[in-house]
A = this chain, B = another copy of it.
Amino acid sequence: MPEIYFPHLTNNSLPVTHEVEVMDEKGRKQTISIPGERSLTIYLDKKEIVTLMTLGAAPEALVLGYLKNQNLIDTIENIESIQVDWETDSAAVRTIVKKNDIEALTSKRVVTSGCGQGTMFGEFMADLDRIQLPTDARLNQVAINQIIEKIRQHPSIYKQAGSVHACAVFEVIDNNVELLYFIEDVGRHNAVDAITGLMWLDRKDGRNLVFYTTGRLTSEMVIKGGQMGIPFLMTRSGATQMGLELAKKINLTLLARCSGTHFLIYEGQDRIQLQQENT
């Protein structure tokens, strides 16, 4: 078996919470935890690309996923190294074969919003036609309930300090549910980008995976889920109309309002197997 290539990555996670003293409405002082937030500027072969505001828990994965989701680098084999340095709040990315059109790629960037982070909306939309999600993938109710329960029990910065979003990826094989990745960040797009980065490193195919997020499923979240090749998207929150429309378009199964044993199937119910007594 050929050896799998890994780029050289630093491992510069930051402490994610900080204690601060606050005063409540009765004038009582108390110490609470709040999440960190740092700026991280990505340089691709010395060219400044973007400044991301991040918790800093998984900066190298975030940079990897950002580059992939923005179509700035095609193959992980072309990344020589990523060096995160918190003294200069920078991530230096070196590639092996330099892209000639990097200037063109970055200058035609259109910034999307709605809690987006600067993505090429036009390219995303063009990408949609190329997304093929497995039609035969199935997820049953027991696995869904297990995913919700595992998330509930998982230790998190959110429980400790609030103000962050979590994304997680589960692998479901023969109803056995395993948590593969769990990332929190101050923006839900950073969390999904970091997961993209980890999946890229692991050469992980999306086929048997379920993507869970605490955040809302807006258009960009659905597109990124589709780009990862994951057929199932679950959220504790809701979805927007465009999120739902894009899910329909790429045949992605979308579950929202997931809490306890409750969930709503917004789209793709043919992939969901409800328990006998319910149907």
Q: Which residues of A contact B (CB under 8 A)?
A: 18, 20, 22-27, 30, 32, 34-39, 41, 48, 50-54, 107, 109-118, 121, 141, 144, 161-163, 185-190, 216-220, 237-244, 256, 261-266, 269, 274, 278-279
Cβ of B219 and Cβ of A53 under 8 Å apart?
A: yes
A59 nearest CB across to chain B (Å) = 12
Known: A53-B112, A162-B238. 7 other contacts (CB 8 A): A36-B240, A37-B218, A50-B111, A53-B219, A111-B118, A162-B216, A163-B237
Which residues of the other chain, B, contact A240 by a CB distance below 8 angstroms? 34-37, 163, 186
Bound form: Cα–Cα A201–B262 in Å? 45
Q: In the complex the two chains form, is A53's CB within 8 Å of B113's CB?
A: yes
Q: How many copies does the complex hold?
A: 2
Q: How far is the CA of A114 from the CA of B137 in the complex (A)?
A: 32
CB pair B219–A113 under 8 Å, yes or no, is no
Contacts A/B (CB < 8 Å), 30 sampled: A23-B264, A23-B269, A24-B265, A25-B264, A32-B264, A34-B238, A34-B244, A35-B241, A36-B240, A36-B241, A37-B218, A37-B241, A37-B243, A39-B112, A39-B121, A50-B111, A50-B112, A52-B113, A52-B114, A53-B112, A53-B218, A113-B117, A113-B118, A113-B189, A115-B117, A115-B187, A116-B187, A163-B237, A163-B238, A186-B216
CA–CA, A261 and B204, complex, Å: 48
A190 to B113, Cβ gap below 8 A?
yes
Distance between Cα atoms of A265 and B28 in the complex (Å)? 10
Q: Of the candidates B24, B35, B41, B278, which one forms a contact with A27 in the assembled complex, judged by CB atoms under 8 Å apart?
A: B278
Tell me how far the C-beta of A122 lies from the nearest C-beta in chain B, rounded to whole angstroms.
8
